Amino acid sequence: MQTTTARTTHLMIVPPRSVPDLLSGRRTVEPRLGRDRRAPYGRVCPGDDVFIMATGGTVFGVCTVERVDEFDGLEPSDIDRLRDSYEARVNAGAEFWSSKQDASFATMIWLGAIRPVRDASRIPPELTVPSGDSWRSASPGTDAVPRRAA
């Protein structure tokens, strides 16, 4: 029996070079760092579903958020500590962390197992509207991925 629960559905757009690490499980935490409180900061919660798409590609997977760690007021030394704490699960490399030294906010999203997307009609249409955002959130309660009852 399948039921649905109220949660938010998101679309995460990643560089194509990240796709193999996501699919193989070498990247289990998605880092989002920036100078402002841009999504997903404050908008993603454990239990939310995240569709995943490579830049310029199609949606290839969906997963459920297991945990979210958020940080604000960051200084460059804090970015170094985040790298030390998360790099084994992020697998992004020194260039990534170096490019984020000016970030004031960070959202570290622990991803569950990625499942293939076989039916693109399950993706909320508001997530597929072209925009320059690499993270998009549907209206809360938009439930595109059915849950199995426990």
**137 in a structural domain:** no
Encode pLDDT of 76-131 as tens digits.
999 999 999 999 999 999 999 999 999 999 999 999 999 999 888 889 999 988 88
Encode pLDDT of 65-77 as tens digits.
999 999 999 999 9
What is the length of the chain?
Answer: 150
**150 in a structural domain:** no
Give the pair of three-digit tokens for residue 110.
Answer: 């622990």
The one-letter code for the residue type at 137 is: S
Could you tell me the residue range of the domain that residue 17 belongs to?
A: 11-117
Q: What is the pLDDT of residue 148?
A: 39
**129 in a structural domain:** no
**113 in a structural domain:** yes
- For residue 139, is pLDDT > 80? no
Kindly give, in sequence order, each residue whose CB lies less than 8 Å from that of residue 113, ignoring residues fewer than 6 positions away: 25, 63
**145 in a structural domain:** no
When divided into structural domains, the chain yields a total of 1
The CB density around residue 95, as the number of other CB atoms within 10 Å, is 8
**30 in a structural domain:** yes
Please compute the mean of the pLDDT values over residues 42-56 and round it to a whole number: 95
**22 in a structural domain:** yes
**61 in a structural domain:** yes
CATH number at residue 65: 2.30.130.30
